[in-house]
Amino acid sequence: MRTAPKEQLLGDEAFALGAIHAGLRAAYGYPGTPSTEIMEYLQARAGTQTEEARRSEAVSAFTAKWCVNEKTALEAALGVSFAGRRALVTMKHVGLNVAADPFLNGALLGIKGGLVIAVADDPGMHSSQCEQDSRFYSSFALIPCLEPRSQQEAYDMAREAFDLSEKFHVPVMIRLVTRLSHARAGIDTAPPLEQNRCEKTPEKTEWMLLPAYARKNYAALIEKQKDLEAWSEEHAEKNLELSPDGKKVPFAVITSGLGGNYYEENLPGIKARYGSTPSRLHIETYPLPTTAIRRLCESAAGGPDGGTVLVIEEGQPFIEERLRGVLPQNVHIRGRLGPDAALPRGGELDPDNVRAALELPPRPDILSVMPGPDLPPLPGRPPQLCRGCPHADSYAVINRVVAELDSAPGHPDVAVNSDIGCYSLGAAPPYSAIESIVCMGASIGMARGAADAGIPYTFAVIGDSTFIHSGITALIDAVQADTPMTLIILDNSIVAMTGCQPTALASDKLKALILGTGLDPAHYAELEALGRNIDENAARLKSEACYRGLSVVVFRRECLEAARKRLKAAK
C-alpha cells in the first residue's frame, strides 16, 4: 500500500529515501557529482531526525558516513553485510574504478545482509574527466544491475535491490545518471521495513577468498546466472510491447534508462508519420533479457533475419554491442557461453578441455598407462605457516582473547576480519582464527562496518606491508569515526608471502604514521610476538578490545625466512 506523494525529491534523494524505507542500517560513500546528494540526504535524515520522529515514521536509526575513498566505503559496507544487516555504498562512475578490488571480489562472497552499490554515471561529462558506463562493471562482476528511468523507479528499485541481494546472496548495482539524479518529481512511498537483526553467517567459507574457497564460490556465482537471467526476463516481460500492426513501422525499438523517456516524448511524431507505433522493449534490469530481445526482433519488419532494431540507451553502447551475440546469425558460434558451450565457463584452458571442444577422444591418463600396481591419488598439500612463524604466536593470543570475550559457539559477538598475506593461513587449522578475506586492506573497513552493524567486539588483522598498501586509508576512516574496534597489525618487517621483498616503510616508522592519523596514543600498543609472552599479550589485547573506541595493537617479530636471508647475505 502506498501513501500520497509526500515531497518533491531529486532522483538521488528518492533513491536514498527508498533505501531508508528498505531497512538500511549503514551507508558509506565518497562525494562525487552526480552521486553526492544521496549521502547528503541520508546524513540529514540520520543526523537531524529525532528518535520520536523516527518512531512515528517506523524508521530505525542508521549510520551514514563519508569515507576516505570509494574502496574503504565498500569495504565498510561489506562488514555490515557480514553482520547480516543492509548496507549501501554511494559513488560516481570513476569512483567505481577505485573500488574495483572489493567490488569484483565481493561478488564471490556469501552476501547475508543486502548490499547495494549506487553508482551515478555522468553521460556528457558535465562534471567528470571521462564518460564511463558502469553497466560494463556489473556485467564483468556477474552481478545484477537495476537502471531506473524515473524518480519513482529510483525509490522502488532501492527496496527491490536489497531484496534481490539477499535472495541471491550477491551485491546489486543501481545505475543512476546525471539527468535523473538531479531532476525532481513527486514520490509515492511504501511503509518502511524493519532492519535485519545483527547476525553473522555460520559458514566461514562464504567470506573467505582463499583460492580453494574462491574457486568454489566462483562456480556458485556462475550457477546463479541462470536464475538472475530468469529474474531479468520477468522484468522484461512487463516492458515488452509487441505492436499488432507494428510492421507499418520499419524498425523495432529497445530503450533503457532515460532513453525510454526520450523515446516516449517522440511517440506522437512516430504515430503521425507511420500511422502506428513500433514494437518496443524497455530494459531496466541486467543481465540482458535475451529471450525478450529475440521476441522483439522477431516482430520487427522482415522477421528474425532482417529488419532494423533501434537501440536508445543513455551512456555507452552496452546493449547495442551485445545484440550481435543475441540475434540469430548464419554462423553458429560455440565457446564458453550457451547451453551447448564447448568449453567450461570458469577456470583455465588446458590441452584436455580444448581437445574435448575439438571433438577429439580424451588422452589416456598417465596413471592408467604406467605399469605396476594401481597408485593411490597424490595427497593434497595446502599451504601452511612456516614452523616458528611469529604469526602462530599472534593467533594463539587472538584465539584466547576471542574465547574470553565470547564463549558461545561461533562467537556471535566477535568478528575477526583478516586480509591478504601469509597470515591469511590463520583461517586453516590448527588456528581457525579468522572469518573473512576479501582484498588488500578490506579487513579494517569490514571491522568498522561490523562494529557499525552492532557486533560488540571487532578485530581487523592485517600485515605491515598490506597496511601500508591499502590499510592506512581505512584506518583514517575508523579514526575519524572513533569506531569501537581493534586493529591488529602483524609486523614481520617484510613482504613475506611473495618472497621477502622489503616493505615500503620500515617497521620503526609505523608508530609515527599511525599516531599521525589522530589515534589516541594511550590505545596504541606494540607487543613482541613470542609464545612466552602469551599471557601478558592476551591481557593487553583484551583490554584494548573492551575499550569502546579505536585501538591499534602491533604484534612484532621478524619473519624467520627473512632473517635467514638477511644473515646469509651478511656473511
Residue 553 has pLDDT above 90, yes or no: yes
Cα 271 from Cα 567, distance rounded (Å): 85
Residues of each domain in the chain carrying CATH 3.40.50.970? 8-187, 390-570
Q: Which band of pLDDT confidence, cut at 50, 70 and 90, is reported for residue 568? A: confident
For residues 130-167, one letter each, b for 16 or more C-beta atoms within 10 angstroms of the residue's C-beta and e for the rest, the string is eebbbbebbbebbbbbbbbbbbbbbbbbbbbbbbbbbe
Please tell me the predicted confidence (pLDDT) of residue 327. 67
Neighbour tally for 77: CB within 10 Å: 36
Select the more confidently predicted residue: 220 or 4. 220
Set of cell numbers at residue 206: 562464504
Give the strand pairing for 457-463 and 309-313. Answer: unpaired
Cα 482 from Cα 462, distance rounded (Å): 19
In the block, which residue shows the cell 529471450? Answer: 291
Give the strand pairing for 285-286 and 145-146. Answer: antiparallel
Alpha-carbon distance values, 212 to 208, 286, 429 (Å):
9, 29, 15
Strand ranges (E), 432-518:
457-463, 485-491
Q: Which band of pLDDT confidence, cut at 50, 70 and 90, is reported for residue 338? A: confident
Mean pLDDT of all residues in the chain?
Answer: 90
Please tell me the predicted confidence (pLDDT) of residue 333. 62
390-570, what's its fold? Rossmann fold (3.40.50)
Please tell me the predicted confidence (pLDDT) of residue 335. 74
Q: Mean pLDDT throughout 506-522?
A: 96
Q: pLDDT by residue (tens digit) across 245-301? A: 766 788 888 999 999 999 998 888 888 888 888 899 999 999 999 999 989 888 775
**Residue closest to 74 by CA, chosen among 534, 571, 514, 473:** 473
**Residue closest to 23 by CA, chosen among 62, 50, 77, 52:** 62
**Residue closest to 213 by CA, chosen among 531, 398, 435, 536:** 435
49 within 8 A of 387, measured Cβ to Cβ: no
22 within 8 A of 159, measured Cβ to Cβ: yes
178 within 8 A of 120, measured Cβ to Cβ: yes
Q: Which of 200-214, 241-255, 394-408 reaches the highest mean pLDDT?
A: 394-408
Set of cell numbers at residue 254: 529497445
Please tell me the predicted confidence (pLDDT) of residue 35. 95
Residue 119 burial (10 A CB sphere; 0-12, 13-18, 19+)? buried
Q: Mean pLDDT throughout 1-9?
A: 71
Q: pLDDT by residue (tens digit) across 118-168? A: 999 999 888 888 889 999 999 999 999 999 999 999 999 999 999 999 999
Alpha helices for 170-309 (secondary structure H): 178-181, 211-238, 258-265, 267-274, 290-299
8-187, what's its fold? Rossmann fold (3.40.50)
Beta-carbon contacts of 165 under 8 Å, excluding residues fewer than 6 positions away, are 111, 114, 115, 116, 171, 172
**Residue closest to 395 by CA, chosen among 537, 550, 204, 498:** 537
Q: Which band of pLDDT confidence, cut at 50, 70 and 90, is reported for residue 399? A: very high
Q: Which band of pLDDT confidence, cut at 50, 70 and 90, is reported for residue 328? A: low
Percent of the chain topping pLDDT 90? 65
Asked whether the whole model's pTM tops 0.85, one would answer: yes
Percent of the chain topping pLDDT 70? 92
Please tell me the predicted confidence (pLDDT) of residue 303. 46
Q: pLDDT by residue (tens digit) across 50-100? A: 666 666 677 889 999 999 999 999 999 999 999 999 999 999 999 999 999
90 within 8 A of 224, measured Cβ to Cβ: no
Neighbour tally for 331: CB within 10 Å: 4
Cα 76 from Cα 88, distance rounded (Å): 10
* Across 100-109, 302-311, 562-571, least confident range: 302-311
Q: Residue 380 carries which side chain, given as an amino acid letter? A: G
Please tell me the predicted confidence (pLDDT) of residue 304. 45
Please tell me the predicted confidence (pLDDT) of residue 55. 66
Q: Residue 323 carries which side chain, given as an amino acid letter? A: L
Give the strand pairing for 115-121 and 485-491. Answer: unpaired
Cα 205 from Cα 305, distance rounded (Å): 48
Reduced to 3 states (helix: H, G, I; strand: E, B; else coil), residue 92 is: strand
Q: What are phi and psi of 213, to 5 degrees?
A: -75, -40
Q: Mean pLDDT throughout 37-60?
A: 79
Q: pLDDT by residue (tens digit) across 307-323? A: 788 899 988 889 988 88
Reduced to 3 states (helix: H, G, I; strand: E, B; else coil), residue 327 is: coil
287 within 8 A of 232, measured Cβ to Cβ: yes
The CA-to-CA distance between both ends of the chain, in Å, stands at: 80
Cα 60 from Cα 44, distance rounded (Å): 14
